Structure 1
Amino acid sequence: MSTKLRNKELNVVEEKQPVSGSSMLIKALAKEGVDVIFGYPGGAILPTYDEIYKSGIRHILARHEQGAIHAAEGYARVSGKPGVCIVTSGPGATNVVTGIADALIDSLPLVVITGQVATSVIGTDAFQEADMIGITMPITKHNFQVRTIEDLPRIMKEAFHIATTGRPGPVLIDLPKDVSVATGFFDYDKEVDLPGYQPTVVPNKLQIRKLAEAVAEAKKPCILSGAGVLHAHAYDELFEYAEKMRIPVASTLLGLGAFPGEHELFLGMAGMHGTYVANMAIHQSDLLISIGARFDDRLTGALQHFAPSAKIAHIDIDPAEIGKNVETHIPVVGDAKAALKMLLEENGSAGETGVWLAELDKMKAEYPLWYKEDGETIKPQKLMEVIYEVTNGEAIVTTDVGQHQMWAAQFLKFNKPNRWVTSGGLGTMGFGFPAAIGAQFAEPHTPVISILGDAGFQMTAQELSILQDLNLPVKIIIVNNSSLGMVRQWQQLFYEERYSNSVFNTQPNFVKLAEAYDVKGMRIDKVEDVKGALEEALAHDGPVLMDFRVTQVENVYPMIAPGKGQHEMEGIKP
């Protein structure tokens, strides 16, 4: 018998030997093509970490579990693959709850593995016990608790299937310690069989035909592009369809990058701080085609004023979203890519949109985004323009939540998909920096810029240790206005300038903080130094933290005030 054949037979025998639950977990991750895990060890999950040590699989040690799960989110958003996060029981598990909720509302595929106390003491308030099934039931796409070793391979396979199919989302696996050390046989070859979970991928042909007929009749059509276009990898089809039918495209906050930001048909972001032309195009449209968008309140404004003259078509893989907030006339349940392909194959005629496009071009010229420069202080809008200039729009950009997030969405242009990483539905401060770490692991050779507020950065600043450990070349840009900028703006506009706990009297020295982690730190106070500082940072082969001191009393405009419609924008002109 040849050595090669003998080794092959030995491998077969070895695979039939019983292995521990922790070993099964690692084998399942390998089968799913997982190349990086973000996490933090602790008592209940130690058997799994012992297997991680022996396996050689890449693990990134966050300095707080919130950092781990936001990094997994950033990885998922950029790579399109599920982000994997592993933490221990009790406080380790509860520290990832915010990230799980964030991923659910923003449709990010995650597999979150939490350690749990032994099955024999579950329900006894054992040390570091928390009911993660009960806690996360409303904020996961699905959750599992592994009660027997025989169930573990099936649960792992189902978890990845559920997280990545249909509308993506987070799935939690709660792993009791005794199950992780028990032994059994690893069988990962069985097909996933979930009769109650069968997402509709291919849309109904009759509904596609109705939509094609509506497009042919429309004089003022508008496409609203949401994150679902990105999740479905449907950007090429969207581009082809919009150009073929000569339909303008507005974007949601999370949909930025699905359609080229510099294209003549692109209107910009719609919603509370969207462009005037994007909001007015929706308001005046006679046909609104929403693709993979949720019609959330920050987009629509007052619902009674939303697209009042439009026939509304809604393409979404999640049927629960269709008709939830806005009455839908043409519902299309299915994958965005499949729907757009079917629309292209339908080969319907385009409506006469020339006059409509000319009207929108006139609006673009008359009501552009604006800000006033004073020639001395750094205006945050100017900072965004220079960031776009020096990166040539090629960088992956992550943000935290607040004014800087809106200025980035307004003034940066995203011509490629999956270059924009932000927290939308939950609006999670502390998200932006660890998400940049995950994004950098997803695309190691692409520049990653993390644009943060001075407040949000302090919520997860400890993750500078990862940059220190790995010399990860993330460039941190702190838009420092010494305040909770968006809170201060709302207090100015709606609370008679009562700035309750929104302005900082003291701050850390961010440059010294960076240097404490052996990260290059820079402070920039003058507008004439902005471009040079950014170019210097981008040329540096390691991480850089830049503290840009910007105008404190600067508001994000235009704006749809609470209770107003999209046609009632304020601050559309200086």
Structure 2
Amino acid sequence: MLMTGSQIVLEVLAEEKVDTVFGYPGGTILNVYDALYDNQLGIRHFITAHEQGAAHAADGYARATGKTGVVFATSGPGSTNLVTGIATAYMDSIPMVAITANVPNAQIGSDSFQEVYITGITMPITKHNFVVRRVEELADTIRQAFSIANSGRPGPVLVDIPKDVTAAACEFLPAPAPAAPERPAEIDPAVIAEVAALINAAERPVIHFGGGVIGSGASPLVYELAHRASIPACHTIMGTGVLSYNDPLNMGMVGMHGNISAGLAINGADLLLVIGARFSDRVATKPSDFARRARIVQIDIDRSEINKNIHIDYSIVGDVGRVLEAVLPLIERKEHPAWQAQIDAWRADDVVPPASALDGKLHPYDIIHAVAELAGEDAIIVTDVGQHQMWTAQYCGRTQPRSFLTSGGLGTMGFGYGAAVGAQVAFPKRRVIHITGDGCFHMNLNELCTSVSYHLPVITVVLNNGVLGMVRQWQTLFYDHRYSSTSLHRKTDFAKVAEAFGAKGFHADTAEEFREKFSKALGSGAPCVIECRIDEDEMVMPMIPGGSTVKEAYRSAPVVSEL
């Protein structure tokens, strides 16, 4: 059948079972949008307030569903506005296909209006990217983009299409019947047996898992391994929800703002089994001292992660689900009573905030505990980046994977609202709670109009301390209270801003008032913003200073005389 390039784009998206696209139209991509106007393929398009919001929405959609997120943008500033969103997805291994349009082939290289070399710009932050010069190559290129985005370690792929290619026509041939899936590389059974023997022989084992477990869909296998051999487990921020927060073997998050007990367990372990995690500097805060008593086994789909940051004793490169399926039959049922008793003693000394303080102030843990309780286990919690992100990771009480969405690797302020839109579009019947700070919300509150326009009942909780909280915390602890450019002196009334956008706005100044306003927001069925004033000197504790070990962690905010 003869089709234009624009029609081919939509046909291939339908082949790939894409039903949702986020984006923003413009001159060079108008042919695609014109084809979208009368498409009969069931593809929904959501226009955001800004292309960066569209990229984060595609990312949030992918994180929440496990599907590939898709974003459209026009040339020049449209495509460059995607860059931060693409980099965010790249750092966290999120499958995404970005389709950008460019100036016609004849104008490329002439500095024409809104021309930019987007494939060169995004080369370091994509798994791969393409420029399609001929319409005959378009269908197979987009198919290849989806294949790359989802194969191996997932990630973003960009396809740039000159405008004349979207207008040109050629014979479109539907994708051939899928061939038999390529047989995965065999996992050496001798290595599997050796790793299983190490697990069976260990007296002080610890499992450390990350986002790769969620990407693989291997959460039930991690649960089975931990419980079969009674192995305590801890996780990166990206692994939140793999094990329920109340699982007795779950020691919680580890690292700079993780539980002290988890860090001590890793340091005291004789075997550390690392599954789908990459030893970032926020976890291995001092690499030379990390798990130095343990034999370390790393399971990861990306060979480049092996021995990158930490020396590994044993490694298995492959999909963590397939590896665990091979290992589990060889694992003996075992208890480690002495080791568990030691861990329980460490956990008894962890930093645990009170259920509610008696000082009359509204504290972050009051807010997060209330969100977790009132929104329920099925809620999807999305954060921006900073202190509120760490407080949420510590207290959000997630019991299932893909229910806590955050920018872990790039640490993108402004990620949260777009990602919340993507999650709410994916799951219209689930509650999506966006937790943010006043600094971050100023970066993405323009996307309130997206929720209002599409009747998406995203609830935003703003922890407003009037400062850039995490930066100020570092300035307090390590820069002698020299608060350079972190006190914002802004007069924004976020509740009034919400009302101006057509959403509902609330203020809360006490824990009781927050619970009341949050309950109202849950029952409203509308986009809501709840502004919560918290103290500018609230700190995220515990905290391991960069380059230090868990033994040097702050357990509470030091008083001035200690600085």
Amino acid at match of 2:413: M
In the alignment, the residues of structure 2 paired with residue 448 and residue 417 of structure 1 have an alpha-carbon distance, to the nearest angstrom, of 14
Does structure 1 conserve the Cα–Cα contact (< 8 Å) formed by 2:228 and 2:334? no
In the alignment, the residues of structure 2 paired with residue 190 and residue 318 of structure 1 have an alpha-carbon distance, to the nearest angstrom, of 29
TM-score by length of 2: 0.96
Residue of structure 1 equivalent to 2:162: 176
In the alignment, the residues of structure 1 paired with residue 93 and residue 173 of structure 2 have an alpha-carbon distance, to the nearest angstrom, of 30
In the alignment, the residues of structure 1 paired with residue 377 and residue 368 of structure 2 have an alpha-carbon distance, to the nearest angstrom, of 11
Residue of structure 2 equivalent to 1:3: none
Amino acid at match of 1:357: Q
Does structure 2 conserve the Cα–Cα contact (< 8 Å) formed by 1:451 and 1:476? yes
**Please, which moves more after superposition, 524-533 or 148-157?**
524-533
In the alignment, the residues of structure 1 paired with residue 343 and residue 485 of structure 2 have an alpha-carbon distance, to the nearest angstrom, of 42
Does structure 2 conserve the Cα–Cα contact (< 8 Å) formed by 1:375 and 1:527? no
Residue of structure 2 equivalent to 1:358: 341
Deviations, residues 528-549 of structure 1 (Å, cap 9, x unaligned)? 2121111111111111110011
Aligned mate of 2:14, from 7, 13, 30: 30
Aligned mate of 1:144, from 130, 153, 161: 130
- The alpha carbon displacement at 1:369 in A equals 2.5
Amino acid at match of 1:224: H
In the alignment, the residues of structure 2 paired with residue 261 and residue 397 of structure 1 have an alpha-carbon distance, to the nearest angstrom, of 14
- The alpha carbon displacement at 1:204 in A equals 2.6
Residue 323 in 1 paired to residue 307 in 2? yes
Residues 330-345 of structure 1: matches in 2 within 5 Å? 330-345=314-329
Does structure 1 conserve the Cα–Cα contact (< 8 Å) formed by 2:382 and 2:433? yes
The alignment partner of 1:254 has SS state of helix
Residue of structure 2 equivalent to 1:153: 139
Residue 134 in 1 paired to residue 117 in 2? no
Does structure 1 conserve the Cα–Cα contact (< 8 Å) formed by 2:5 and 2:165? yes
Does structure 1 conserve the Cα–Cα contact (< 8 Å) formed by 2:261 and 2:343? yes
Amino acid at match of 2:340: L
Deviations, residues 235-260 of structure 1 (Å, cap 9, x unaligned)? 11111111001101101000101111
Deviations, residues 209-254 of structure 1 (Å, cap 9, x unaligned)? 1110101111111111100000000011111111001101101000
In the alignment, the residues of structure 1 paired with residue 226 and residue 289 of structure 2 have an alpha-carbon distance, to the nearest angstrom, of 26
**Please, which moves more after superposition, 371-380 or 204-213?**
371-380
- The alpha carbon displacement at 1:393 in A equals 2.7
In the alignment, the residues of structure 2 paired with residue 202 and residue 489 of structure 1 have an alpha-carbon distance, to the nearest angstrom, of 49
Residue of structure 2 equivalent to 1:96: 82
Aligned mate of 1:45, from 29, 39, 43: 29
In the alignment, the residues of structure 1 paired with residue 186 and residue 303 of structure 2 have an alpha-carbon distance, to the nearest angstrom, of 13
The alignment partner of 1:55 has SS state of coil
Does structure 1 conserve the Cα–Cα contact (< 8 Å) formed by 2:463 and 2:533? yes
The alignment partner of 1:172 has SS state of strand
Aligned mate of 2:254, from 247, 270, 286: 270
Residue of structure 1 equivalent to 2:561: none
Does structure 1 conserve the Cα–Cα contact (< 8 Å) formed by 2:60 and 2:423? yes
Residue of structure 1 equivalent to 2:384: 400
In the alignment, the residues of structure 2 paired with residue 173 and residue 132 of structure 1 have an alpha-carbon distance, to the nearest angstrom, of 10
Residue of structure 2 equivalent to 1:435: 419
Does structure 2 conserve the Cα–Cα contact (< 8 Å) formed by 1:305 and 1:566? no
- The alpha carbon displacement at 1:192 in A equals 8.3
Residue 386 in 1 paired to residue 349 in 2? no
Aligned mate of 1:120, from 81, 106, 109: 106
Deviations, residues 39-58 of structure 1 (Å, cap 9, x unaligned)? 00000000001011111521
Does structure 2 conserve the Cα–Cα contact (< 8 Å) formed by 1:218 and 1:352? no
Deviations, residues 237-285 of structure 1 (Å, cap 9, x unaligned)? 1111110011011010001011111100000000100001111111111
Does structure 2 conserve the Cα–Cα contact (< 8 Å) formed by 1:21 and 1:180? yes
Does structure 1 conserve the Cα–Cα contact (< 8 Å) formed by 2:148 and 2:154? yes
Residue of structure 1 equivalent to 2:350: 367
Amino acid at match of 2:482: R
Residue of structure 2 equivalent to 1:249: 233
In the alignment, the residues of structure 1 paired with residue 144 and residue 178 of structure 2 have an alpha-carbon distance, to the nearest angstrom, of 6
- Summarize the Cα distance change of 1:573–1:263 in structure 2 as closer, same or farther, 3 Å threshold: farther
Residue of structure 2 equivalent to 1:495: 479
Residue 511 in 1 paired to residue 495 in 2? yes
The alignment partner of 1:160 has SS state of helix
The alignment partner of 2:190 has SS state of helix
**Aligned residues between the structures:** 554
The alignment partner of 1:171 has SS state of strand
Amino acid at match of 1:244: R
What is the root-mean-square deviation in Å for CA atoms of aligned residues?
A: 1.7
Does structure 1 conserve the Cα–Cα contact (< 8 Å) formed by 2:351 and 2:542? no
The alignment partner of 1:207 has SS state of helix
Deviations, residues 69-118 of structure 1 (Å, cap 9, x unaligned)? 00000000001000000000000000000111111110000000011111
Amino acid at match of 1:176: P
The alignment partner of 1:250 has SS state of strand
In the alignment, the residues of structure 2 paired with residue 352 and residue 523 of structure 1 have an alpha-carbon distance, to the nearest angstrom, of 50
In the alignment, the residues of structure 2 paired with residue 352 and residue 40 of structure 1 have an alpha-carbon distance, to the nearest angstrom, of 56
In the alignment, the residues of structure 1 paired with residue 74 and residue 115 of structure 2 have an alpha-carbon distance, to the nearest angstrom, of 10
Residue of structure 2 equivalent to 1:348: 331
Residues 199-214 of structure 1: matches in 2 within 5 Å? 203-214=187-198
Residue of structure 2 equivalent to 1:6: none
- The alpha carbon displacement at 1:411 in A equals 1.0
What percent of counterpart residues are identical? 43
Amino acid at match of 1:53: Y
Amino acid at match of 1:467: S
In the alignment, the residues of structure 2 paired with residue 487 and residue 454 of structure 1 have an alpha-carbon distance, to the nearest angstrom, of 13
Aligned mate of 1:167, from 128, 153, 162: 153
- Summarize the Cα distance change of 1:450–1:199 in structure 2 as closer, same or farther, 3 Å threshold: farther
Residue 484 in 1 paired to residue 468 in 2? yes
Does structure 1 conserve the Cα–Cα contact (< 8 Å) formed by 2:299 and 2:315? yes
